[in-house]
Chains A and B, each alone.
Chain A
Amino acid sequence: MAAPLALVLVVAVTVRAALFRSSLAEFISERVEVVSPLSSWKRVVEGLSLLDLGVSPYSGAVFHETPLIIYLFHFLIDYAELVFMITDALTAIALYFAIQDFNKVVFKKQKLLLELDQYAPDVAELIRTPMEMRYIPLKVAMFYLLNPYTILSCVAKSTCAINNTLIAFFILATMKGSAFLSAIFLALATYQSLYPLTLFVPGLLYLLQRQYIPVKVKSKAFWIFSWEYAMMYVGSLVVVVCLSFFLLSSWDFIPAVYGFMEHPIFFMFIQIAIIAIFKSYPTVGDVALYMAFFPVWNHLYRFLRNIFVLACIIIICSLLFPVLWHLWIYAGSANSNFFYAITLTFNIGQILLISDYFYAFLRREYYLTHGLYLTTKDGTEAMLVLK
């Protein structure tokens, strides 16, 4: 497994390095779909030079990054391109190992449920085999690294990539069962942009599940563990916030900088997608993170209803973004309604995609327990509806 992963890494790094050296790098870093005011690299550089001049970076309404980012890049400013390539590589590796672990857990659980006869008898083709699950981690890494959205975000040096890395490490730490590390990474991710706060609940649920602690209000173990996890999370968050205060001697960064019980990982995936859809300055980098998870839910493919339409919507909208932006800003012939409509359509596509996956997931669960070939009382093929 290491060799193909290394190969994918090499290919990804080559593509990124080639784009960094080309003249497209400047063009891409200006695109509004790839960088937002919260994650733009130009603003990081502006904040660093303000710091050099002795002015607080937060005095103008330009800089929205956290003090830890300032200090990270203060020392690494000369190697910025390398830093972003390494963060992408780290994200891919983290996802690879996380999904490997997840596969093991899924397989173990499935085996347990099979032995307990929880599944209907004729669902053999729905049962996942190790064979088909073997290449999923590699596919996840490949999906993340070779996704055009990820490549564009990396070349534009958008700090969204760092956020993605932190969330990926959070997922890895949660998978491995280490509550402490998972709390730290979640605290760092929340510290950078507030939205990963909603990932606290699925993370907690997964950790509880791993330790076989039942999620009941009366269970003492539940409360003890939840309290520990919450404290570690809040503690890390407080430490990181106070560290920022000491780094820059002010609280300025706070105003500038600041969402399935049974299947927490799927829940986490849905949450990441919801964050990407509803955050105030979404960029394609956020979309890239949850799109990396699609190979994990490969087995749901047969239940997706609108996958063709949705794929078309997403691809066409991505292609139309630069066109309509150009028409609005530079050519002056369109107006902002066009660009707004396209972003709205893209969001509708994402929403339908996520709800489609959700629907497929729920449907597969139903089939697993009730059998694949359902018949009505009078023998005709039955239809399933949500009621």
Chain B
Amino acid sequence: MAAAVRLVLLVLLLLGPGVWGQAEPPRDSLREELVITPLPSGDVAATFQFRTRWDSELQREGVSHYRLFPKALGQLISKYSLRELHLSLTQGFWRTRYWGTPFLQAPSGAELWAWFQDSVTDVDESWKELSNVLSGIFCASLNFIDSTNTVTPTASFKPLGLANGTDHSFLRYAVLPREVVCTENLTPWKKLLPCSSKAGLSVLLKADRLFHTSYHSQAVHIRPVCRNARCTSVSWELRQTLSVVFDAFITGQGKKDWSLFRMFSRTLTEPCPLASESRVYVDITSSGQDNETLEVYPPPLTTYQDVILGTRKTYAVYDLLDAAVVSTSRSLNVQLKWKRPPENGYIHYQPAQDRMQPHLLEMLIQLPANSITKVSIQFERALLKWTEYTPDPNHGFYVSPSVLSALVPSVVAAKPGDWEESPLFNSLFPVSDGSSYFVRLYTEPLLVSLPTPDFSMPYNVVCLTCTVVAVCYGSFYNLLTRTFQIEEPRKGGLVKRLANLIRRARGVPPL
């Protein structure tokens, strides 16, 4: 009996510190998402979002155990008693007219705005220190934020997360339009991600591709959110977003077929093991102009439909945690292809003028795969004037060969490397995109043997045609100007007398 009681006490003792002293570690979860949106102008927008939700009350307890939530930001929140923090670094401008409405737009340069807790006494002091610390974390010159470029908006910036009251004296807003975003800012931003750039969607974040874009915006948003529907407790949400717009003309000679490989020069291999959700969404709503339909490869297993920004949109969903998506090739390269109905192509035809210019026919055609296309032209050669024949007309006349210039898609992607470094045979034709190579072919020239005239013909023609025309003219003239008359038989005549002479000699009666 005493042993059982001792055992229970021991158990209670053992459990005791666990129950009282140490709270269970707060749970955090990571969701990562990539949205690819083909824009109306032919460009492609890619938006990354990494959301870490930390179910903890940072204000009340001193927290020392950080798992997914980055320690730098967690310490920032607790030290400066932040309620919300929004920092964005942007290069470029979102062209709404060509690209449509963005999910999240940020001004060019650096933008920082923060809501402080009610317990903060000197907001400006905290603000100054906050901007200095952030400039250290993100390697951006945010230390230039001071009273000369800080404002306290009263109406336009409301808290984006949970808020008890909105006393605007706790809000500070600053923007530095001169700030430039570069790799130095991307690297610490990437380091805040739980999987860094090793697994999941963050493997696509390669600086050399991300900064070769028309628009690049990276942001950090920290705000408190409800943990559940009844909002009994509060969690912290950290969202790291990155939006880029790839330009169709810079990277790809105006072709509108996109793939993850072409955009980021990487493909997705495995999801981040720390993520509870890892998805790629591709916007397949639009059918494009000119009756084009968007085709996504590989075909998605699920689609998602919703009303986004006022319009109904459909998204193809690729769930990296789903074994079926990354199963076969161990890598996921989402490809977007615009299928347009076969069009006539471009035809430029300049007909010939005798002795002035030759025929020119240029056609731009798209050859279907695994097929044979034959182009045939019927032409006639006009007969030359007799002085234009060469001394050897029976050799024949040449028809110049035709030229075929083609961009052939290559099976293996070539790296567009240095011009000067590569061998000479590789650098004949300029190639800016590794997915196709340029080739120029020529056909054989034609030798046509034409009938040559007989070079005595001018004399023949002149003589005979004049004779015929004279015959015609003579007959008609006679018929038109003469009249019928009865002929009087003529007696005499020299020929008749001679004939009668010969007849008498023969003994035949005279005429």
Contact = CB atoms under 8 A, between A and B. Distances in A.
Interface of A: 50, 53, 55, 59-62, 277, 328-329, 332, 335-337, 340-341, 344, 347-348, 351-352, 355, 358-359, 362-363, 366, 374, 376-378, 380, 382-387
A50 B486 contact: no
A363 B479 CA distance: 10
Given A355-B476, A386-B482, A344 B487 contact: no
Contact of B486 (A328, A329, A376): A376
A371 to B, nearest CB: 11
A283 to B, nearest CB: 17
A376 B396 CA distance: 69
Contacts of A335: 451-454
A99 B351 CA distance: 46
Interface in B342-388: 347, 349-354, 359, 382
Interface of B: 347, 349-354, 359, 382, 449, 451-454, 456-457, 460-461, 464-465, 468, 471-472, 475-476, 478-479, 482-489
Nearest to A328: B451
Contacts, number: 96
Contacts of A329: 451
Contacts of B354: 61
Given A50-B351, A60-B351, A366 B484 contact: yes
B472 A351 contact: yes
B355 to A, nearest CB: 9
Contact of A277 (B382, B472, B485): B472
11 contacts: A59-B350, A337-B454, A340-B461, A351-B471, A355-B472, A362-B484, A376-B488, A383-B487, A384-B485, A385-B485, A386-B482
A385 B453 contact: no
Given A358-B476, A376-B489, A336 B454 contact: yes
B94 to A, nearest CB: 39
Nearest to B478: A386
Contact of B347 (A53, A59, A62, A366): A53
Contacts of B452: 335
Residue among B351, B476, B487, B489 with most chain A CB within 10 A: B351
Nearest to A40: B380
A29 to B, nearest CB: 12
A336 B453 contact: yes
A383 B487 CA distance: 6
Given A358-B476, A376-B489, 9 more contacts: A61-B353, A328-B451, A335-B451, A335-B453, A351-B468, A355-B479, A377-B488, A385-B484, A387-B482
B350 A55 contact: yes
Contacts of B464: 340-341, 344
Contact of A332 (B451, B453, B461, B483): B451
B351 A55 contact: yes
